[in-house]
Chain A
Amino acid sequence: MTARARVMGIAGAIVLLASLDALLAWFDVFTPLLSSTRPTSLLASINRQMTDVVRALYRAPAGPPAIVVLGNSETEAVIRPLPAFEEALANAGAPAGTHVVSLCVFATAPTDAEVIARRLGPLRPRLVVVGIAPPDVGTTLERARDMPITRLLDTGFRDGLVPPGDVEARLDRWVRTVWHLYRYRALLHDLLRPPAERRTPGAFLDIVHTPAEIFVMSYGPERAEELLRLQATFAASGRFEDFARYVTELRGPDYLPGLRERWRDLTPQPVQLEALRRLAAHARDAGARPVWLLLPENPLLELDPEVGGEVATRAAEVAAVVRAEAEALGVPVIDLRTAVPPDGFLDLNHLVYSSGRLLPTLAAALAARGLLRAEPEQPAEEERRARDVAGEQDEAEREEVEGREGAERTAERRLFDRAAPRAPEPEDGEPERVIRAPQRVVPGDAVPEAAGEHGGRLSHRLAEKGLPGAA
C-alpha cells in the first residue's frame, strides 16, 4: 500500500466524519433509528429521554404554538400521558391541536433545563412550563456537574452556570461542543445497540394506567405481585417502615438513602435560582411565556425518621424563595404542592406515572391565569424589567449557541424575537455573575385543593387517615 493512498484515505476519512457531523447538526437522524419500544431501566431511560430532547429541538411540532415542559422525573410523572394532557388543555380552552412537548429528563436540575432552554427557538413554544421540587433548587454546583444534560449534551465553550470541575471535563465539554458525533455518542450507542433489558411498548406512556398495570409492564408479573403485596401491607399498617420496604423493593436500595441525602441540609442554591432566572429569559427569547410549577409533595416524606422533621420547613423555605424570584421576574407560579394525597404517589416523590390525575387541575390552573389564550401576550412592563435582570450573561451564551447552529435557525428565531424586547448586550469581559433577587414570602396563588384534604397541616391530614405522626 502506498503512502499516498494512506494519506488520501485519512483525508477522505476526515471529510466523511465532517459530513456525518453536518448531517447530525442539520437533520434528525435519531427518529429513523428509534425503536418501537422504550427502555425501563433508569440509565437507558435517561438516554432515551435525551434522544427525545435532541429530536424535539430540530423543529416545531405541527399545529398552534406548543406547550413545552421542562423538568425531571417528578415533572414527567405529573404531565403524562401527554395525549390526556392535551385533551385537558383543549377542554380548558387551549387552541385546538395544541401539542405538549416534554423535554423532561430524569435526574436533572434547573441547571440542566437551562442548557436545553437555550435552544428553544426552533420549537416556537407558547408556554415554557418548568417543574420545580425543593431538592431541584437545593442541587449544589458539585452535584449539578454530574447531571445528564450538563455531562453529555452541548453546554458551550463558556463556563456557564456550571463550570467544568477539572481540565479533563473542560476538554470534554469543548470537544462535545464542536463534534456532534462525540456529543451524541451515548444516544447513538443505545439506538444502534439497545441495552438488553425489559422494554415497554412505545405507546405505553400515552395511555392512562393503574399502578398494577405499570408494575406488571415494568417489572413482570411476579415482582408486580410482590410490590402490590407490600403496598397493601403499608395500607393496612400505616407504618413508615412498611412503606420503606415497599419503596425499596420498587426503586432499589439506593433510592431512600439518595432521597434523604438530597433533603438533608437542603438549602436553595444560588446557582439553581440563577438557572431559573435564565430559564425565564430563554423562554421569552423563544417568544413564550415562562410558567413555574411547584410540584406535588408527598406528605409521607414527613414521616421519614431521618429527614422527615425538616421536610416541611425546608420545602416552605424553597417555595418562598421561588415565589419571590417569580414575582421579581413576572413569572406565573402554579402551586401543586398539596394537591395530591399520599395514595396518588408511586413512591415518596413521584406521582403514579401515567395516572393523569392532576392534568385537569393543571390545565384549569393555566387557563385561570390566562396562559392558554390563542394570541400570545406582549410582555408586560414587569417582564421587560425581569429580562433586564436575568438576561445578561445568558444572552451571551445564547448568542454563542445560535452562532454555531447556523444562519437559518438564527434567522427563524429572530423573526420571533421581534415580538419581545431583547435584554441588553453584555459588556466585554463582564464576569459571570449570580443575581440575587429579594428573598421574601409573597402572597400565594395555590391551586384549589384537588384532593380536598390538604388544607391543614400534615398532622391533621394524618389524623384523618389514622396514620402515625398525627397530632
Chain B
Amino acid sequence: MSRPALIGRALALAVLYAAIVAGVVIFGQAGAPFIYQGF
C-alpha cells in the first residue's frame, strides 16, 4: 500500500472508530437521570 493510501485509510478508520465510541457513549445510555420522588 502506498504511503498516501495508508494515511488516508488510517484517517478514515480514526474517524470511524472515534464516531463509534462517541455514538455509543452518547446514544447507548439507558435509564432516567434520577429516581422520581414527588418533586
**In the complex, what residues of B have CB within 8 A of residue A15's CB?**
14
> Which A residues lie within 8 Å of B25 (CB)?
181-182, 185
Among B21, B32, B37, point to the contact of A262 (Cβ < 8 A): B37
- Stretch in A86-94, A118-126, A140-148, A289-297 with 4+ CB within 8 Å of B: A140-148
* Minimum CB distance partner of A255 in chain B: B38
Q: Which 9 pairs between the two chains have the least Cβ-Cβ distance?
A: A258-B38, A9-B13, A12-B14, A8-B10, A13-B17, A16-B18, A259-B38, A107-B39, A13-B18
Query: Chain A's nearest CB lies how many Å from the CB of B25?
Result: 5
A residues 291-313 near B (Cβ < 8 Å) are: none
Pairwise interchain contact B17-A10, C-beta atoms closer than 8 A: yes
Is A186 located at the chain interface by the 8 A CB criterion?
A: yes
- Cα distance A185–B17 when bound, in Å? 17
**Given A2-B1, A8-B13, A185-B26: A258 touches B33 (CB 8 Å cut-off):** no
A43 to B39, CA, bound (A): 11
Say whether A13 contacts B14, CB under 8 Å: yes
B22 and A46 form a contact (CB under 8 A)? no
- The answer to whether A256 and B18 have CB atoms under 8 Å apart is no
**What is the total number of residues of chain B having a CB less than 8 Å from a CB of chain A?**
27
Q: Would you list 18 pairs from A and B whose C-beta atoms are within 8 A, ordered by A residue?
A: A1-B9, A5-B6, A8-B6, A9-B11, A9-B16, A10-B17, A16-B15, A17-B18, A106-B39, A107-B36, A107-B39, A181-B22, A185-B25, A186-B29, A186-B33, A258-B36, A258-B39, A262-B37
Q: Which residues of chain B have C-beta atoms less than 8 A from A13's C-beta?
A: 13-18, 21
Identity of the chain B residue whose Cβ is nearest the Cβ of A256 in the assembled complex: B38
Q: Is the Cβ of B14 less than 8 Å from the Cβ of A11?
A: yes
Cα–Cα, bound, A6→B17 (Å): 10
Contacts of A201 in B (CB 8 A): none
**Nearest CB of A to B24, in Å:** 10
Are A17's CB and B22's CB within 8 A? yes
Contacting pair A9 B10 (CB below 8 A)? yes
Given contacts A5-B9, A6-B13, A43-B32, contact A17 B21 (CB under 8 A): yes
Q: Which residues of B contact A5 (CB under 8 A)?
A: 1, 6, 9-10, 13
Specify which chain A residues have a CB less than 8 angstroms from the CB of B10 in the assembled complex: 4-5, 8-9, 12
**CB of A140, distance to nearest CB on chain B (Å):** 11
Interface centre among B17, B26, B32 (most CB of A within 10 A): B26
A9 with B38: CB separation less than 8 A: no
Secondary structure dominating the interface of A: helix
B22 proximity list for chain A (CB < 8 A): 17, 20, 181
A 38-54 contacts with B by CB, 8 A: 42-43, 46-47, 50
Most chain B CB within a 10 A radius of its CB, from A16, A47, A186, A262: A16
Q: Which A residues lie within 8 Å of B34 (CB)?
A: 46, 107, 146-148, 151
Q: Which of B1, B17, B37 has the most CB of A within 10 A?
A: B37
Contact A189 B14 (CB under 8 A): no
Q: Are A188 and B26 in contact (CB under 8 A)?
A: yes
- Nearest CB of A to B34, in Å: 5
Name A111-155 residues within 8 Å CB distance of B: 143, 146-148, 151-152
Whether the pair A189, B26 counts as a contact (CB closer than 8 A) is yes
- Cβ of A361 under 8 Å from chain B: no
* B26→A107 contact, CB < 8 A: no
B38 lies within 8 A of A2 (CB): no
Contact A254 B38 (CB under 8 A): yes
Residue A260 is within 8 A (CB to CB) of chain B in the complex: yes
